[in-house]
């Protein structure tokens, strides 16, 4: 253990960090926590913390293969450190310069790093999440910028409530009450559209329509956080 810590160099440390980031990214896609991943892969629950602290200099190929199998990806893809380095460099280039093209999802993840911290401490809150759920929470903002830990938990709870509601609607659509559900949803949707049209019409009568509200923002605003 002491030898692994003492002989560790910057290159090994960077590669370990990149490997951990890569495992974390693929875990997010599968909505699986580190503990659940370790159990599914059949490896020690302390493996990831030991790797992060440098007690494990680099995983054995058999361990990496188990992790890749648990994540349902090829071993080569899991171990592609150069690809992860390029991804992290693109993400770090958060400042958009003239003529550059930056993936908005990468910027969202850089803006809200606390999401990852909450995911690590409350993995059950994100159980079963799909890519669009992660995109939604990463693109959510609070007062002054990125969400706080409390804000992340609140937004995650709201997303889970919406997921549960949509699941219930899908179940109802498979029953004899389908027509009633469709009629009710269409009626509510029309009422919302009429409300939006009225709001836009009122705004247009105010001159240039700038009434202090922000329109067309692609990000969710959770002002309470």
Structure confidence by residue, pLDDT tens digits, 141-197: 655 566 788 888 999 999 999 999 999 999 999 999 999 999 999 998 888 877 666
Domain boundaries, the chain: 1-92, 99-225
What's the CA gap between 201 and 9, in Å, rounded?
64
pTM: 0.45
Q: Which CATH architecture has domain 1-92?
A: Orthogonal Bundle (1.10)
Residue 140 bridge partners (DSSP): 220
Mean pLDDT of the chain: 75
């Amino acid at each position: 253990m002491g030898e692994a810590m003492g002989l560790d160099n910057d290159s090994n440390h960077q590669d370990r960090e990149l490997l951990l980031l890569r495992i974390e990214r693929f875990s997010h896609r599968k909505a699986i926590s580190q503990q659940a991943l370790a159990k599914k892969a059949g490896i020690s629950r302390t493996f990831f913390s030991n790797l992060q602290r440098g007690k494990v200099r680099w995983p054995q190929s058999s361990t990496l293969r188990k992790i890749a199998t648990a994540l349902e990806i090829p071993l080569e893809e899991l171990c592609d450190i150069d690809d992860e380095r390029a991804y992290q460099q693109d993400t770090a280039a958060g400042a958009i310069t003239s003529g550059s093209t930056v993936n908005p999802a990468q910027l969202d993840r850089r803006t809200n790093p606390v999401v990852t911290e909450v995911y690590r401490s409350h993995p059950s809150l994100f159980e079963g999440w799909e890519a669009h759920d992660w995109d939604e929470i990463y693109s959510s903002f609070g007062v002054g910028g990125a969400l706080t830990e409390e804000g992340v938990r609140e937004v995650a709870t709201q997303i889970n409530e919406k997921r549960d509601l949509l699941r219930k609607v899908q179940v109802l659509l498979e029953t004899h009450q389908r027509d009633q559900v469709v009629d009710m949803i269409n009626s509510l949707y029309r009422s919302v559209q009429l409300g939006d049209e009225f709001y836009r019409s009122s705004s247009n009568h105010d001159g240039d329509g700038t009434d202090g509200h922000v329109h067309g923002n692609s990000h969710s605003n959770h002002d309470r956080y």
